Structure 1
Amino acid sequence: MVEQDLRSTALEAVHQSLGAAFTDFAGWRMPVRYDSDLAEHRAVRESAGLFDLSHMGEIHLRGPQAAEALDNALAGRMSAMSVGRAKYSLLLTEDGGVIDDVITYRLAEDHFLVVANASNAEDDAAALTDRAQGFDVAVDDASDRTSLIAVQGPQSEQILLDALLSDGSGVDGPTAEDLTQMKYYRVAEATYRGETMLIARTGYTGEDGFELYVPNPLATSLWEQLTAAGGERLVPCGLACRDTLRLEAGMPLYGHELSRELHPAQSGMGRVVALKTKGDFVGRAGVEGADVAGRPVLVGLAAEGRRAARADAAVRDGQGREIGIVTSGALSPTLGHPIAMAYVDPASREIGTELVVDVRGKDLPVRVVEMPFYRRD
């Protein structure tokens, strides 16, 4: 795909003015970094980072049977979620594979927002539309109209208070108390410059943080407002540091740890499939009928030194037998040593198991460790 065919977010000009380096991500021209991957990563861990995530998909379901439609479409029980809450769930194939992992927000009794990964947004919208047939609900793919800006890090709450609740901010709705008391995986609706803005306490970095949804025409003004309020506390961040942040936090990435060929139980996601708390849904029979006992399982790996395993590197046991493959790996900026996620034979899943990973033709001794690799205080 040539560069002119890539889609751009509403913040393209902002990223160019900041000197961003760009990459092709799921058909989008996205900032991969502005300065240093390491500096951006550390900013999120120590202060706050500002991300453009407008390549993600936003799919609204509205109607009297919106909850029932989502109970049918997703692996989680969305009807049990109260207004103002969010829930992580999976969109499954008929045979139990993972089409996508999504976050669903309940904005009203009859209104839900499903946020999809960029690479799957169109497929998700099509699947949700198809699975909503027969229910009194309307499916609206608002991805092309919506921008998503995230503020992540320990200073994110104070930066939002400074940016959104000061005189002349253009924001009506939440109070300072509302924001400070908002718990993780909660969402609130506000008005920003006359348009609806959603403020969610969610993220993909392992830190406290917020994700803000606004119409595209307001993205630049919101970004600039957050930047001005954040000052030296807030650093623009690209997708490269987002990947190392989510890896340290043990969060799966679709296409690496999740796919249509892998069942939820293999990645440790069996807990989000509501087999006991709701009735039939797309993928239930496939999950229940699958024998996953001997299939590879996802584990965390850690090593010493500075050499890091990368995706697709082979994993071997002590006898030299190939027993798995790395799905994500990096030299952890926070921990200072190599970490990775890998699918391995279940016989090698126990914590402390010594294995070997091939790193550019050389053996790297690794051991199986608990995930997440990093957990904030």
Structure 2
Amino acid sequence: MTTHTSPLHAEHVADGATMVDFAGWQMPVRYSGDIAEHEAVRTAAGLFDLSHMGELMVRGTDAAAALDYAFVGQMSRVPLWGARYTMMCASDGGVIDDVIVYRRDWDHFMVVANAANRAAVRDELQGRIGEGGHDASVEDVTHEIALVAIQGPAAESITASMCELGADDIHALKYYKAANVLLDGGIHTFAARTGYTGEDGFELFVPADRARDVWRLAMDRGDSAGLMPCGLAARDSLRLEAGMPLYGHELSHDTNPFEAGLGRIVSFGRDDGPPRGDFVGRAALEQVRDIGAKKTLVGLVGEGRRSPRTGYPVTDAHDNQLGIVTSGAPSPTLGRPIAMAYVPPELAEPGTAVGVDVRGRREAMKVVPLPFYTRGD
């Protein structure tokens, strides 16, 4: 299997990052330390290389209709320069991937997929365009684009300071909106106010051959604001605190959006607009909506020090297994162990006492609403 390297690989190595293989890419897992990087994002700003994410351009007269058929959300309703979080599901309702779709023109969309699922999403898109007879095409431009994210309370001021043209657009940009800006040095950038940390932030899609210039520009402009380069470990603990699902953990072919607590992103076209045509997985998801999910994703908080990890059993007072932990870690912000887990719906009520088998010892935890952390708390 080929291992890909980010256009920023040399920068990471020079900065002393610990590199790991992640979904077929060599990516930085940490620089100065997981907790320091996590706290930098919560209090100032963090700089992330997300160039392993997949970028798929969907263009054509029927591009919007094709995406309406391919995803559970109604992409034809996304405004120009808007973004929408959605999922691609199989015919049985299982999740193939969760993605963000950006509308770059009336007949041009960019689908950002998880690195491990890029090929699956690309191939499914092509197949579903053919099934629907839509006039649209899919182009995989992952290796032509670098994705750099600036996340944290200082993200807006840092990103605006990097602009040669478009600083006012950065300040005016609403959440899940995007704009074309020109960074210093003449770097054309598609800037989106999106992120995966629970903080304010921007994701900058730039030409791969200008990635190092953008990284260095961000480090220079963000230095006085406390900007710190961050790795995948901090990104994971930040998204966990924010209650954001990760494919392969909270999401998989064996789960559906309703079980993950994300049924709101499934549009059936009844209460929220004009009638909607068919989409892959519609019949199965309508059934789950009508009869209820068989399991529910919940948050868990512990009182002790030992943290649950992925795959640990969730148990009752008699050590009977009730469910399974999908993600777990010590929370730097809360100072307590936290986890997300799937349990039967009747045990999803906040305050419900459960246990988690942490290496053979029961750790008491209780069910809490997600997310664990909300900006401004």
TM-score normalised by structure 1 residue count: 0.94
1:242 match = 235
Q: How many residues align?
A: 366
Q: Is the 8 A contact 1:107 1:113 kept in 2?
A: yes
For each residue in 1:265-301, what CA deviation from the matched residue of structure 2 results, as whole angstroms up to 9, or x when unmatched?
A: 1111111111134221111122124486462210000
Q: Please, which of 65, 78, 83 is the counterpart of residue 86 of structure 1?
A: 83
In the aligned structure 1, how far is the partner of 2:300 from the partner of 2:30?
A: 26
Q: Please, which of 240, 246, 251 is the counterpart of residue 258 of structure 1?
A: 251
2:46 match = 49
In the aligned structure 2, how far is the partner of 1:47 from the partner of 1:288?
A: 43
In the aligned structure 2, how far is the partner of 1:273 from the partner of 1:97?
A: 13
Deviation at 1:23, TM superposition (A): 1.1
Which ranges of 4 or more aligned residues in structure 1 deviate by more than 3 Å?
191-196, 289-294
Q: Is the 8 A contact 1:63 1:110 kept in 2?
A: yes
1:179 match = 170
Deviation at 1:129, TM superposition (A): 1.2
Q: Which stretch has the larger CA shift, 156-165 or 348-357?
A: 156-165
- Note the residue ranges of structure 2 that are not aligned, 5 or more in a row: 271-275
> Mapping of 1:297-336 within 5 angstroms?
297-336=296-335
1:198 match = 190
The answer on 1:18 being equivalent to 2:9 is no
Q: Please, which of 28, 36, 41 is the counterpart of residue 39 of structure 1?
A: 36
In the aligned structure 1, how far is the partner of 2:188 from the partner of 2:253?
A: 35
What letter matches 1:31 in structure 2? Answer: P
SS in 2 for 1:244: helix
What letter matches 2:175 in structure 1? Answer: Y
Q: Which stretch has the larger CA shift, 192-201 or 7-16?
A: 192-201
In the aligned structure 1, how far is the partner of 2:266 from the partner of 2:325?
A: 25
How has the CA–CA distance of structure 1 residues 294 and 130 changed in structure 2, closer, same or farther, with 3 Å as cutoff?
closer
The answer on 1:189 being equivalent to 2:174 is no
In the aligned structure 2, how far is the partner of 1:289 from the partner of 1:372?
A: 27
For each residue in 1:26-46, what CA deviation from the matched residue of structure 2 results, as whole angstroms up to 9, or x when unmatched?
A: 111110001110000000000
The answer on 1:211 being equivalent to 2:208 is no
Deviation at 1:244, TM superposition (A): 0.2
Instruction: Say what the alpha-carbon RMSD is for the aligned residues.
Output: 1.4
How has the CA–CA distance of structure 1 residues 126 and 196 changed in structure 2, closer, same or farther, with 3 Å as cutoff?
farther
How has the CA–CA distance of structure 1 residues 77 and 294 changed in structure 2, closer, same or farther, with 3 Å as cutoff?
closer
What letter matches 1:305 in structure 2? Answer: G
Counting aligned pairs with the same residue, the percent is 51
In the aligned structure 2, how far is the partner of 1:163 from the partner of 1:106?
A: 24
SS in 2 for 1:342: strand
Deviation at 1:191, TM superposition (A): 4.0
In the aligned structure 2, how far is the partner of 1:81 from the partner of 1:123?
A: 23
How has the CA–CA distance of structure 1 residues 292 and 363 changed in structure 2, closer, same or farther, with 3 Å as cutoff?
farther
Q: Which stretch has the larger CA shift, 127-136 or 215-224?
A: 127-136
TM-score normalised by structure 2 residue count: 0.94
In the aligned structure 1, how far is the partner of 2:292 from the partner of 2:66?
A: 31
For each residue in 1:243-283, what CA deviation from the matched residue of structure 2 results, as whole angstroms up to 9, or x when unmatched?
A: 00000000000000000111211111111111134221111
SS in 1 for 2:259: helix
SS in 1 for 2:109: strand
> Mapping of 1:1-377 within 5 angstroms?
5-133=2-130, 134-165=133-164, 172=165, 174=166, 176-192=167-183, 196-232=188-224, 233-277=226-270, 278-290=276-288, 293=292, 295-377=294-376
Deviation at 1:195, TM superposition (A): 5.8
SS in 1 for 2:240: helix
Q: Is the 8 A contact 1:265 1:292 kept in 2?
A: no
Q: Is the 8 A contact 1:163 1:230 kept in 2?
A: no
Q: Is the 8 A contact 2:259 2:293 kept in 1?
A: no
How has the CA–CA distance of structure 1 residues 195 and 35 changed in structure 2, closer, same or farther, with 3 Å as cutoff?
closer
In the aligned structure 1, how far is the partner of 2:291 from the partner of 2:360?
A: 31
In the aligned structure 1, how far is the partner of 2:323 from the partner of 2:117?
A: 26
In the aligned structure 1, how far is the partner of 2:369 from the partner of 2:117?
A: 29
Deviation at 1:194, TM superposition (A): 5.4
In the aligned structure 2, how far is the partner of 1:354 from the partner of 1:329?
A: 17
